[in-house]
Amino acid sequence: MNAFNTLKNDFKENRWWILIGLIALLIVDVLQLFIPRVVKYAIDDLTSGAITPYRLFLYGVEVLILALGIGGFRYVWRYFLLGAARRVEKALRDRLFQHLQTLSIAYFSKARVGDLMAHATNDIEAVRMSISLGVVFVVDTIILGVLTIFFMIYIHPVLTFYAVLPMPLITVMTLFFSRVIHQRFEVLQKAFASLTERVRESIAGIRVIKAYVQEKSEEEKLSWLSQDYINKNIAVTKVWGMFFPLLLFLSNLSMVIVLYLGGRLTIFQSITTGDFVAFMSYLGMLAWPMMALGWAINVIQRGSASMRRLNRIFEEAPEISDAPEVISVRSLNGGIELRGLTFSAGNGAILRGIDLTVGPGEKIVIVGRTGSGKTVLCDLLVRILEPPQGTILYDGIEIHRIPLKILRRDIGYVPQETTLFSDTIRENIAFGRLDATEREIEEAARIAQIYDDIMNLPEGMNTMIGEKGVTLSGGQRQRVAIARAVLMNPPIFILDDSLSSVDIQTEERILEGLERFLHGKTSILVTHRIAPLRRADRIVVLDEGKVVEMGDHATLLSKGGVYAELYRQRELEEELEREERVEILNSKHKIRDKFE
């Protein structure tokens, strides 16, 4: 039960809901016990011949009033107890999502999306069930069970003793089957998580699957997982199938005992006929608390196991957070300094002893071979990865002393991997500034050279772009991401190879628009393209995690080093790209002329 300590504040906030619900549940349990008593008196009057139509009518009214009370208070306890459980469920789910957002990228690289979805749905559902139905089962077991036995003893103690003999077996059997079902259900949930994850991956990677003609292979994998899920469902169903017949047998066993012994007592007039009928009613009522005890143990066990899994997530501390020595910073001016920046991951160093000073408003371009550490450097600058102490400073302030909210608000970062959300283009551009006006959104789209493309879409800015922007081309997705960063209007702008999917002509237009926008702003552009190089104030060349060259385009080209080699290689690639484009255009013209 210690697992539920996390919910202590939630229980405290909903204490009145829970209290009112428990009182209503208690009233329902008590009222249920009086109906067999009313029936007893009615039958005794009938068998003795002392009944009158008016008295029979009164008995009916009493039963009706009790039934209405049971129905009304049952509604009250369901509303308040189940409502409180739903409120706790919402608070827990909100808290889980908020906590997941604080965790570092490293956590999500280890955790499977399917498992996280299972935690956010199935585990929280199990916790809710333990709070609502678990409480109901426990209260019913204690209150209804004890009071029912008391009323049975009041009718005949010895008959009660024989009648309840099989009842503990119901509890033991329920507890045993509940544990078996729980174990199999856990296996079933894992199978469900695997099936969900496979479906998600297949849908997310549908283009790759089609490109490599692997539809049949994916169908076979999914079919195998689906069959495994069915098999595990059948395993759970087999246990359920044995449980209920055994439960019915034990319940009827008590009924047989009471029918024989109670019938004898009635014949010999040790108890009245009304007592016998009431006793049988109480016996039927007693079966539920005995079952409920086993159910309560099972439901609470499952909820406790789920809560422990959720607590393990809550115990995950974010690797990147505001340090205790954080200071009050209103905004960044754009000065950046790297002091001997070294960063390692896995078995080796990715960046080695980088020293670099960038002045406010300076335009820096970073180039280098694949794997030279360019993206890692960008992630360190915005603390997506955690840099070593004292290695990165903004405006002379060590990066860990700057609040994360200010740091990321004042850096417009467009990462290499473009992420868009399944929403309208307008909402995706305004993602970082929800209060942006329509004019500001359109201006950002124009700077990113995506405005005309948007206007050509059927619904313009209101066009839904699907999950991860699947309905847009790679270049369009990159330009929407650039527009999103532009709209924030930050003093520092970092683009990590964010123009790789656009053609050369569009790239030139984007750079022209950005050049006006970035006037007076500090910008760091990682690129493999030629066009940005001539516009840079300074070019930094990375090779194997080290700064090997630095200077302007002409100076670095004259040195004939790594930069010159990369430049000539890219120049040749872009020339071939232009020739290919010309050939495609000529082919289109020939086809058009042919049909004209």
Residues 85-106, buried b or exposed e (16+ Cβ, 10 A)?
Answer: bebbbeebbeebeeebeebbee
Residue with more model confidence, 546 or 166: 546
pLDDT at 283 over 70: yes
CA gap 521, 141 in Å, rounded? 70
The confidence score (pLDDT) of residue 1 equals 56
How far is CA 139 from each of CA 26, 281, 300, rounded to the nearest angstrom? Answer: 8, 20, 13
CA gap 413, 418 in Å, rounded? 11
The confidence score (pLDDT) of residue 134 equals 79
Q: How many CB atoms lie within 10 A of CB 233?
A: 15
Nearest residue to 444 via CA among 408, 488, 493: 488
Over residues 204-225, mean pLDDT:
79
Over residues 211-231, mean pLDDT:
83
62-71, 194-203, 528-537: which is most confident:
62-71
Residue with more model confidence, 85 or 468: 85
CA gap 338, 393 in Å, rounded? 7
CA gap 353, 290 in Å, rounded? 71
What are the chain's domains?
9-314 (1.20.1560.10), 336-566 (3.40.50.300)
pLDDT at 64 over 90: yes
Nearest residue to 313 via CA among 120, 183, 127: 120
User: Which 8-state DSSP code applies to residue 400?
Assistant: G
Q: Which band of pLDDT confidence, cut at 50, 70 and 90, is reported for residue 68?
A: very high
pLDDT for 119-134, tens place per residue? 888 888 888 888 887 7
pLDDT for 303-351, tens place per residue? 887 888 888 888 888 888 887 888 888 888 889 999 988 988 766 788 8
Residues 34-64, buried b or exposed e (16+ Cβ, 10 A)?
Answer: bbbbbbbbbbbbeeeeebeeeeeeebeebee
Tokens of 545: 């995690």
Over residues 104-109, mean pLDDT:
78
For 54-68, 142-156, 320-334, 526-540, which range has the lowest pLDDT when averaged over its residues? Answer: 526-540
Helix axes 273-314, 83-102, angle to 10 degrees: 10
pLDDT at 587 over 70: no
pLDDT at 355 over 80: yes
Q: What percent of the chain has pLDDT over 90?
A: 6
For 50-54, 373-377, 478-482, 574-578, which range has the lowest pLDDT when averaged over its residues? Answer: 574-578
Nearest residue to 474 via CA among 443, 447, 444, 453: 453
Beta bridge partners of 358: 336
Nearest residue to 557 via CA among 547, 568, 570: 568
Residue with more model confidence, 530 or 257: 257
Beginning with the edge strand found earlier in the chain, give each strand of the sheet holding 336-345 in spatial order.
348-358, 336-345, 392-394, 397-398
Handedness of CA 326, 331, 336, 341 (dihedral sign): positive
pLDDT at 288 over 80: no
pLDDT at 593 over 60: no
pLDDT for 511-527, tens place per residue? 888 888 888 889 898 88
DSSP secondary structure, 106-133, as one string? HHHHHS-HHHHHHIIIIIHHHHHHHHHH
For 114-118, 406-410, 543-547, which range has the lowest pLDDT when averaged over its residues? Answer: 114-118
- The C-alpha angle with vertex 54 and arms to 272 and 285, in degrees rounded to 5, equals 45
Rg (CA), the chain: 36
3-state secondary structure of 347: coil
Over residues 88-105, mean pLDDT:
88
Nearest residue to 149 via CA among 5, 43, 279: 279
Beta bridge partners of 338: 356, 392
Residues 154-189, buried b or exposed e (16+ Cβ, 10 A)?
Answer: ebbeebbeebbebbebbbebbbebbebbbebbeebb
Interstrand relation of 336-345 and 392-394 (parallel, antiparallel or unpaired): antiparallel
Cβ-contact 522, 358 below 8 angstroms:
yes
Burial of 202 per CB tally in 10 Å (0-12, 13-18, 19+)? middle
pLDDT at 596 over 60: no
CA gap 115, 197 in Å, rounded? 8
pLDDT at 118 over 60: yes
pLDDT for 464-516, tens place per residue? 887 777 778 878 888 888 888 888 888 999 988 887 777 777 777 888 888 88
- Which single residue is written with the structure tokens 């999500």? 108
pLDDT at 295 over 90: no
Residue with more model confidence, 160 or 71: 71
pLDDT for 539-551, tens place per residue? 888 888 888 888 8
For 76-85, 122-131, 177-186, which range has the lowest pLDDT when averaged over its residues? Answer: 177-186
pLDDT at 297 over 80: no
